[in-house]
């Protein structure tokens, strides 16, 4: 058995474990959010053993395939299934991976930092690889290296469809190069996997959408609805240069609320108990990095105080970790909606948990009982349904015989969709205040004095470490929403007509999820979906780590998804 086969079997085995498979699903999808679309519930059979209000659980839309373009999409599927097309598409991605468009946290401006220049190589590559795209679509360079493409439709009254992705990748660690099965920027296709940094995150989004449009242009297709492509250059550090400039450009060019829907990278799908659960994200967690400075007089180590600055900082960190954030299980929120889908459609979901989910719809007592049970049932529950806290950085001291005057730590937070930046800051200050009082220190909590106005001993200061504060995103509508119904139907039709050889399950369910990183596009539309149409088992070792690789057949399905989405959006009455 090859190492690849063993890895595949391990993934499949893990999915069969009830609790761990549940955690895997929620971690992969990054959860779901509120509201459900109007739909035909006959799309999938209901579990006849369910009782109570089973019909309200996780309704599903019908699969949507192009009707006006039915012969075109069938013909394209035939072409996509040929060995010639597959090898060309796989090499398109492989060659893109071989261009190391690495994003560093300390990048300067494009004008002053030469490390950006590698993106010119990427520009040149896609110009040559996709000649019809570059001969037909209008390309605009934004912030020097970010790219926006406009494919003009015949009906200017229709709001455009926007497909977003990013060209940049995270760095690799030179010390781990020997741990890669194939070199980290090889782009090597071994017959099953395409290897290298960016093969999963997110060059398939760029090359997949380009390939779909190039192929449509080869067939003479001209859209009715305009299509926009937006490719960022520093998504891996939050997009302050690329996506921020793209967002400003798009608002200036098209106006606010000018886009029918945006599809960016994000959720995917997972085989859970013989049913595929696809999770396009419709919301994003908030974000805040909190810096904790402890400032003391310092002095000689031969005459230390009872508690040094490092000791006091340790007390602050200990108190924070002793008071973790409590997850919130609410009926109108992401996690609970995912739970309902599992209860209705996952055959492996325990019957007692299914009953509890059903009863919790109308009983607050059962909802609280369910929350208690989830602590043991789902290892990812706390991180999924609540605000996360991680102490990632700590600094202090420069000499063994000198007491440090200034030490600090930084805590990273992903703010739950039911919370806010201010709520997190207030909670943080309330936890730290008793520590400051214990050591007779002043506390400056995000610009507000708490407790002692002044202390001769020292100061604890809480602040936004990198001006990173971000509120949870506006929620994309789902219930009765045309864009959500269109996306869901496209996902289902792509899954049902897949060209894969590994025989995925026939049944599929769409559940809203939660993701990150579209903050710069929020004003363009309220219909933002983060979805990459890739299976949880289609990444060899995940992203941002060694042995990043994508299953080649999964990349082919991403191309098919982009193709069907463009054609569906072109003829639908579900979009503005």
Closest CA relative to residue 120, chosen from 94, 145, 148? 145
In this predicted structure, the answer to whether residue 30 has a pLDDT above a threshold of 50 is no
Higher pLDDT, 174 or 48: 174
Q: Which helix (H) or strand (E) holds 315?
A: helix 309-322
Hey, is 462 helix, strand or coil?
strand
Residues 418-447: what's their mean pLDDT?
96
Residue 201, marked binder: yes
Q: What is the predicted pLDDT for the residue at 276?
A: 96
Domains of the chain: 3-284+473-571 (3.40.630.10), 286-325+387-471 (3.30.70.360)
Residue 307, marked binder: no
Question: Helix, strand, coil % (nearest 5) of the chain?
Answer: 40, 20, 40
Helix orientation angle between 83-97 and 118-129, rounded to the nearest 10 degrees: 170
- Tell me the pLDDT of the chain averaged across its residues: 89
Residues 566-570: what's their mean pLDDT?
98
Among the listed residues 54, 202, 214, 235, the single catalytic one is 235
Residues 180-184: what's their mean pLDDT?
97
pLDDT above 90: percentage of residues in the chain: 75
Residue 576, marked binder: no
Lowest mean pLDDT among 29-43, 369-383, 518-532: 29-43
In this predicted structure, the answer to whether residue 182 has a pLDDT above a threshold of 60 is yes
| pLDDT 10s digits, 105-118 | 899 999 999 999 99
Residue 4, marked binder: no
In this predicted structure, the answer to whether residue 195 has a pLDDT above a threshold of 50 is yes
In this predicted structure, the answer to whether residue 26 has a pLDDT above a threshold of 90 is no
Residues 407-433: what's their mean pLDDT?
96
Q: What is the predicted pLDDT for the residue at 10?
A: 37
Closest CA relative to residue 21, chosen from 354, 504, 255, 350? 350
- Of the pLDDT bands very low, low, confident and very high (cuts 50, 70, 90), residue 27 is very low
What predicted TM-score, i.e. pTM, was given to this entire model? 0.85
In this predicted structure, the answer to whether residue 390 has a pLDDT above a threshold of 50 is yes
Q: What is the predicted pLDDT for the residue at 22?
A: 44
Active site residue 179: no
Q: What is the predicted pLDDT for the residue at 452?
A: 78
- Of the pLDDT bands very low, low, confident and very high (cuts 50, 70, 90), residue 347 is confident
User: Over 475-520, what HEC string results?
Assistant: CCCCCCCHHHHHHHHHHHHHHHCCCCCCCCCCCEEECCEEECCCHH
Lowest mean pLDDT among 3-12, 93-102, 132-141, 312-321: 3-12
| pLDDT 10s digits, 478-523 | 878 999 999 999 999 999 999 999 989 999 999 988 776 678 999 9
In this predicted structure, the answer to whether residue 153 has a pLDDT above a threshold of 70 is yes
| pLDDT 10s digits, 57-96 | 888 999 999 999 999 999 999 999 999 999 999 999 999 9
Residue 533, marked binder: no
Higher pLDDT, 39 or 393: 393
Q: What is the predicted pLDDT for the residue at 296?
A: 95
In this predicted structure, the answer to whether residue 14 has a pLDDT above a threshold of 70 is no
Q: What is the predicted pLDDT for the residue at 517?
A: 66
User: Over 141-193, what HEC string results?
Assistant: EECCCEEEEEECCCCCCCCCEEEEEECCECCCCHHHHHHCCCCCCCCCECCCE
Lowest mean pLDDT among 262-276, 393-407, 408-422, 504-518: 504-518
Active site residue 235: yes
Among the listed residues 54, 168, 271, 417, the single catalytic one is 168
């Amino acid at each position: 058995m090859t190492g690849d086969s063993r890895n595949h079997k391990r993934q499949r085995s893990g999915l069969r474990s009830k609790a761990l498979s549940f955690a895997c699903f929620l971690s992969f999808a990054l959860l779901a959010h509120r509201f459900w679309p109007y739909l035909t519930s006959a799309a999938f059979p209901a579990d006849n053993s369910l009782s109570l209000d089973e019909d309200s659980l996780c309704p599903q839309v019908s699969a949507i395939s192009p009707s006006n373009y039915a012969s075109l999409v069938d013909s394209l599927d035939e072409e996509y299934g040929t060995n010639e097309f597959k090898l060309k598409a796989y090499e398109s991605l492989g060659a893109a991976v071989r261009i190391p468009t690495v994003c560093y946290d300390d990048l300067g401006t494009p004008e002053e930092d030469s490390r950006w220049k590698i993106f010119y190589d990427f520009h040149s590559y896609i110009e040559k690889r996709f000649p019809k795209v570059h001969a037909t679509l209008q390309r605009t360079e934004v912030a020097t290296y970010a790219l926006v493409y406009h494919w003009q439709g015949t009906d200017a009254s229709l709001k455009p469809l926007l497909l977003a992705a990013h060209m940049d990748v995270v760095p690799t660690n030179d010390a781990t190069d020997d741990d890669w099965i194939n070199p980290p920027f090889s782009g090597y296709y071994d017959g099953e996997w395409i290897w290298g940094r960016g093969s999963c995150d997110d060059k398939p989004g760029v090359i997949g959408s380009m390939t779909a449009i190039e192929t449509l242009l080869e067939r003479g297709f001209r859209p009715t609805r305009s299509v926009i492509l937006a490719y960022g250059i520093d998504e891996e550090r939050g997009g302050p240069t690329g996506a921020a400039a793209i967002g400003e450009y798009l608002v200036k060019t098209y106006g606010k609320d000018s886009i029918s829907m945006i599809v960016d990278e994000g959720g995917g799908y997972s085989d859970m108990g013989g049913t595929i659960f696809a999770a396009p994200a419709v919301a994003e967690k908030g974000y805040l990095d909190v810096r904790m400075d402890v400032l003391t007089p310092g002095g000689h180590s031969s005459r230390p105080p009872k508690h040094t600055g490092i000791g006091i900082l340790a007390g602050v960190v200990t108190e924070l970790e002793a008071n973790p954030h409590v997850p919130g299980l609410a009926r109108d929120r992401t996690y609970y909606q995912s739970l309902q889908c599992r209860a209705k459609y996952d055959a492996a979901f325990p019957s007692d948990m299914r009953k509890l989910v059903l009863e919790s719809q109308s009983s607050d007592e059962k909802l609280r009982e369910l929350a208690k049970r989830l602590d043991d049932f789902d290892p990812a529950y706390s991180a999924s349904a609540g605000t996360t806290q991680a102490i990632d950085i700590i600094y202090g001291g420069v000499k063994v015989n000198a007491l440090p005057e200034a030490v600090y730590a930084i805590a990273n937070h992903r703010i739950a969709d039911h919370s806010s930046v201010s709520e997190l800051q207030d909670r943080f200050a309330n936890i730290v205040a008793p520590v400051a009082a214990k050591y007779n220190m002043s506390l400056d909590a995000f610009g507000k004095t708490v407790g002692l106005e002044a202390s001769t001993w020292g100061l604890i200061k809480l602040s936004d470490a990198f001006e990173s504060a971000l509120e949870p995103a506006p929620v994309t509508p789902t219930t009765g929403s045309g864009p959500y119904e269109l996306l869901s139907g496209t996902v289902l039709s792509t899954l049902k007509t897949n060209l894969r050889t590994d025989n995925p399950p026939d049944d599929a369910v769409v559940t809203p999820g939660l993701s990150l990183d579209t903050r710069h596009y929020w004003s363009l539309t309220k219909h933002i979906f983060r979805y990459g149409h890739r299976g949880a088992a289609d990444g060899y070792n995940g992203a941002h780590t060694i042995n990043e690789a994508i299953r080649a057949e999964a990349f082919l399905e991403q191309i098919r998804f982009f193709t069907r989405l463009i054609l569906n959006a072109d003829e639908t009455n579900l979009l503005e």
